[in-house]
Copies of this chain bind each other. A is one copy, B any other.
Amino acid sequence: MTTVATHEGEWTPSTRRRVLDTAVRLFSRYSFAGTSLQTIADELGLTKAAIYYHFRTREHLLLALMAPILTEIAKVVEAAEAERDAGARADVMLTGYADIVAANRALAAITTFDPSVRNVLREQPEWSAVIDRQFALLADEDSGVAGGVNAAVVLTGLAGGASMASRHIDDDTLRAELVDIGRRVLGLSEPDS
């Protein structure tokens, strides 16, 4: 966890980090649309002004929360698109996505499921494009209707599986299960390595 020296000289998680962590928890529970900056401030015992010091609007807070996970997805999309054949492209996208959702369980669910979050992301051309490319990598064009449905099930199902998984399942075990499931859905065999 990021720590900073407070004016009192103690090392504590930065206020910015505490706001972001509390926001994930509240968005998971009440949805983005159902959580005001006031609620986040109350939960932390801060004034709303203290929140505004770090985030100009609720949308800015959401984008600050999403940026790391979306940046990671963008990197996986780039790596997957560099592969030659469709199967390898889908497998790189799948394994990268499983990594990300296993390590960011609550955030993955918010990003994938919350309609009010999707509306904010849709207004960001850069992130919308990444999400579209991610979908295209998983949807085998040659398999028509089935390809699109398979991709949608993998994207939502892996995020759902990660967010519902017990905390007792460690990230590596969860990731391996999600990759296996994704390969069965997409009809991919385990690549030789």
Contacts and interface: CB of A to CB of B under 8 A. Distances in A.
Chain A, interface residues (CB within 8 Å), range: 35 or more
Contact of A164 (B34, B156, B173): B156
Interface in A153-193: 153-161, 163-166, 169, 173-174, 177-178, 180-181, 184-185, 187
A166 to B, nearest CB: 7
Given A115-B30, A149-B161, A156-B159, A181 B185 contact: yes
A117 to B, nearest CB: 9
Number of copies: 2
A78 interface: no
Interface of A: 27-35, 109, 112-116, 119, 145-146, 148-150, 152-161, 163-166, 169, 173-174, 177-178, 180-181, 184-185, 187
| Residue of A153, A155, A161, A169 with highest tally of chain B CB at under 10 A | A153
B165 A161 contact: no
A35 B116 CA distance: 10
Given A149-B161, A156-B164, A157-B158, 11 more contacts: A29-B119, A31-B33, A31-B114, A33-B35, A113-B156, A148-B165, A148-B166, A149-B165, A157-B161, A181-B185, A184-B187
